[in-house]
Structure 1
C-alpha cells in the first residue's frame, strides 16, 4: 500500500498494469482508504499520457488516448473506511504494439492523488520479433579474417577455419521466450533434407532473450550435441540452418507462436574425412 506524504488517505493499487488488449478492455478496481477521523471527498478524473509506437529501438511519440470509464466522478470516504472505484480501460487504435497510459486522478480541497496505468494495444503475440532492420535480416553471413561480416545468399562456402564459418545475423525487436537453431542436410535442389541432429533436434538453444538495439550473431562451428551431450562435427557437405524464435508470451506447443526463418543452402568444405 502506497501513501501520499502527510495524508491519511491511501490507495491499495499504486499502479495498474493492463498488459495487452488481445481479450478486449480491462476492468480494474481502485480502493481508496481513509484512515483519518473526518470524511474525505475527492473528484475523480483521468489524465492521458503520451503514447509510443513504432520500432522499440527508435520509437515515435504520438497521441493515442485510451477510453476510460469511471464508476463515479466523486467519492466520499468515511473515516476508517475504504471506497472502491471501478475503472474500465479500453482502446481501439487498430494497431498492435502502441504503448499507452495515463493517470487516474483523485483531487480534494487539500491534496492530489494519482494512480498511473499503462498498456499495450492489440495483441503482443501478433508483434513480429524477427524484423529485417531494413537490410534483409535474418541473413546468412560470412566473415573476413578481421571478423567483419558480409551478408551472403545461396551458394556460400565455408572452410570452418578461423572466422570462416556460417554466421546467422538477426534482430530481436521484442523479447523472446526461446531461440533455437536447427541444422539440416540440404537436398540437391537446395531445400531442407534430414536433420543433422535427429536425437536432439537443435544444434543450439537459449531461453529468455531480451530485445536488442542493433543485431545479434550466431556463429556455427559445425558442431552439434548428441543425446549424451557430446559434441560431434558435421562432415563436408551442404547444409541449411533454421532459426526458430518463440514469442515472449507464446506456448512452445503452438506452431503459430514461433517465428521461423530458414537459411539458403551453403557448403561446408574443409577437406579431409570428417566424423
Structure 2
C-alpha cells in the first residue's frame, strides 16, 4: 500500500497495468481508505499522459487520449472506512502498439492523490516483432571484431574459428521463445528436408528480451539429435529459419509466431 506524505488517506493500488485492448475496455477499481478521524471528500478526475507509437527503440510521441468513464465525480470517505472508485478505460486509436496512459486523480482542499495507469492499444499479438527493422534479419559473417551482413557468394563459411553463419536480427518486443531450424537447400533455392528432423531445431531459447542493439546469433554447424548425440552438418547448401513466439502467445496458434528464412548459405569446411 502506498501512502501520500502527511496524510491519513491511502490508496491500495499504486499503479494500474491495463495490458492490451484485444478484449475491449478495461474496468479498474481503486480502493481509497481514510484512516483519519474526520470524513474526507475528494473530487475524482482523470488526466492523460503523452502517448508513444512506432518502434519502441525509436518511439514517436503523440496525443492519444483514452476514454475514461468514472463511477463518480466525487467520493466522501468516512473515518476509518474505505471507498471504491471504478473507472472504465477504453481506446479507439485504430492502431496496434500505441503505449498510452494517464492518472486517476483524487483532489481535496489540501490533498492531491493520483494513481497512474498505462496500456497498449489494439492486440499485442498483432505487433511486428522480428521484421520491424529495415534490412533485418539478414545473414552475417565475422569481419575482424564485427559481424557484417552478407549475401550471395559471400555467404560461404569455412566453419573455422569465427567463420560461421550468423543471423543478424533485432526484436522490437520480448518473445516467449526463439527457435532456429536449418534446412537443406534445393537446387531452386527453396527449403528441402529438415536438418535434425526428430528435434526440429538446432537451437531454442526461452524468454528472449527486447533488443537494445542489433543481435548476432551464430550457428556453429552442429546440432543435437533426439538421443543427445552431437552431429556436425556436412558441406553443402542450407537455409536457416528463425521463428519467434510472441510474448503471451500460444505455441499452437500459428498467428502468434513470426518467422524468417535466410537466403541459401554454403558450408565449406576448411580441410586440415
Q: TM-score range by the shorter chain?
A: over 0.9
Alignment coverage as a number of residue pairs? 272
Q: Compute the displacement of 1:132 (Å).
A: 4.7
Aligned equivalent of 1:94: 94
Distance 1:261 1:153 in 2: 17
TM (norm. structure 1) is 0.94
Aligned equivalent of 1:36: 36
Aligned equivalent of 1:81: 81
TM (norm. structure 2) is 0.95
Q: Residue 125 of structure 2 aligns to a residue in which SS? A: helix
Distance 2:142 2:78 in 1: 72
Q: Compute the displacement of 1:10 (Å).
A: 1.3
Aligned equivalent of 1:238: 237
Aligned equivalent of 2:220: 221
Q: Compute the displacement of 1:217 (Å).
A: 0.9
Residue 58 (str. 1) matches residue 58 (str. 2): yes
Distance 2:35 2:147 in 1: 65
Distance 2:144 2:38 in 1: 77
1:146/1:14 CA distance change after superposition, 3 Å: closer
1:154/1:124 CA distance change after superposition, 3 Å: farther
Distance 2:18 2:183 in 1: 42
1:157/1:47 CA distance change after superposition, 3 Å: same
Q: Compute the displacement of 1:56 (Å).
A: 0.8
Q: Compute the displacement of 1:194 (Å).
A: 1.2
1:272/1:148 CA distance change after superposition, 3 Å: closer
Aligned equivalent of 1:16: 16
Q: Compute the displacement of 1:140 (Å).
A: 1.4
Q: Residue 202 of structure 1 aligns to a residue in which SS? A: coil
Q: Compute the displacement of 1:182 (Å).
A: 0.2
Q: Compute the displacement of 1:119 (Å).
A: 0.6
Q: Compute the displacement of 1:230 (Å).
A: 2.8
Distance 1:150 1:63 in 2: 38
Q: Residue 47 of structure 2 aligns to a residue in which SS? A: strand
Residues 77-100 of structure 1: per-residue CA shift (max 9 Å, x gap)? 111211111101011111111111
Q: Residue 202 of structure 2 aligns to a residue in which SS? A: strand
Residues 210-255 of structure 1: per-residue CA shift (max 9 Å, x gap)? 1113211111111001123332101111111100111011011111
Q: Compute the displacement of 1:76 (Å).
A: 0.7
**How do 1:137-156 and structure 2 match up within 5 A?**
137-153=136-152, 156=155
Aligned equivalent of 1:262: 261
Deviates more, 1:150-159 or 1:253-262: 150-159
Q: Compute the displacement of 1:52 (Å).
A: 1.2
**How do 1:171-210 and structure 2 match up within 5 A?**
171-210=170-209
Q: Residue 239 of structure 1 aligns to a residue in which SS? A: strand
